[in-house]
Chain A
Amino acid sequence: MTTPTTPTARPDTDNPTDGPGAVAAGATPGDTRELTYAEAVRETLTELMADDERVFLMGEDIGVYGGAFGVTTGLLERFGRERVRDTPISEIAIVGAGVGAALCGMRPIVELQFSDFVTCAMDQIVNQAAKIHFMLGGAAQVPLVIRAPAGSGTGAAAQHSQSLEAWFAHVPGIKVVMPATPADAMGLLRAAVDDPNPVLVLEHKLLYKQKGEVPAGHYVPLGKAEVRRRGSDLTIVATAVMVGKAMAAAQELAAEGIEVTVVDPRTISPLDEATILTEVAATGKALLVQEAPRNAGFVAEIAARIVESDAFHTLKAPVVRLAGLDAPMAYAPELEKASVPQIPDIVVAARRLAKGA
Chain B
Amino acid sequence: MRDLAKEPEAARRALETMWTARRFEEAVDQLFARGLMHGTMHLSIGQEASATGTCLALRDDDLITSTHRGHSHCVAKGADLTRMMAELLAKDSGYCRGRGGSMHIADVATGNLGANGIVGGGIPIAVGAALAQKLTGSGKVVVSFFGDGAANEGAFHEAANLAAVWDLPVVFVCENNHYGMSMAADEAFAIDNISARAGAYGFPGVTVDGNDLQAVYEMVTTAAERARAGRGPTLVENVTYRWKGHSKSDKNLYRTREEIAAWQERDPITRFEDAVRKAGSLTDPEITAARKAATDAVREAIRTANAAPAAPADRDLLLDAVYADADAGDPAEVPA
Contacts and interface: CB of A to CB of B under 8 A. Distances in A.
Contacts of B135: 56, 82-83, 101, 106
A140 B108 CA distance: 7
B131 A196 contact: no
B124 A103 contact: no
Contacts of A268: none
B155 A123 contact: yes
A100 B96 contact: no
B261 interface: no
A92 B124 contact: yes
Among B113, B125, B132, B326, max chain A CB count under 10 A is at B125
Interface string A79-108: 000110101101111111111111111101
Nearest to A107: B330
Given A105-B333, A132-B114, A194 B326 contact: yes
Contacts of A270: 323
B87 to A, nearest CB: 8
A262 B106 CA distance: 46
A9 to B, nearest CB: 26
A124 interface: yes
A143 B128 CA distance: 13
A96 B123 contact: yes
B112 to A, nearest CB: 10
Nearest to B117: A127
A136 B165 contact: no
A97 B162 contact: yes
Interface string B133-161: 10110000010000000000011001101
B125 A99 contact: yes
Interface in A137-159: 137-143
A136 B330 contact: no
A271 to B, nearest CB: 13
B155 A92 contact: yes
B114 A196 contact: no
Interface residues of B, number: 53
Interface in A96-134: 96-106, 108, 123-124, 127-128, 132-134
B254 to A, nearest CB: 26
Contacts of A103: 113, 125, 128-129, 132, 332
A173 B322 CA distance: 5
A197 interface: yes
Given A97-B127, A98-B128, A105-B332, A136 B96 contact: yes
B36 interface: no
A172 interface: yes
Size category of the A interface is 35 or more
Contact of B323 (A85, A97, A139, A197): A197
B158 A90 contact: yes
B154 A92 contact: yes
Contact of B100 (A90, A93, A136, A143): A136
B226 interface: no
A90 B161 contact: yes
B165 A88 contact: yes
Contacts of A95: 124
Given A98-B128, A134-B99, A139 B106 contact: yes
A195 interface: yes
A327 interface: no
Nearest to B333: A105
Contacts of A87: 162
B172 interface: no
Contacts of B331: 138-141
Interface in B66-114: 94-100, 104, 106-108, 113-114
A135 interface: yes
Contact of A123 (B114, B118, B130): B118
B325 interface: yes
A96 B170 CA distance: 14
A139 B97 CA distance: 10
Contacts of A98: 128
A93 B332 contact: no
A142 to B, nearest CB: 8
B295 to A, nearest CB: 28
Given A88-B161, A88-B165, A124-B124, 10 more contacts: A88-B162, A93-B158, A96-B127, A105-B332, A123-B121, A137-B99, A139-B95, A140-B106, A141-B332, A143-B330
The 3 closest A-B pairs by CB, nearest first: A96-B124, A100-B128, A97-B128
Interface of A: 56, 82-83, 85, 87-88, 90-106, 108, 123-124, 127-128, 132-143, 172-173, 175, 194-197, 270
Interface of B: 63, 65, 94-100, 104, 106-108, 113-114, 116-118, 121, 123-133, 135-136, 142, 154-155, 158-159, 161-162, 165-166, 321-326, 328, 330-333, 336
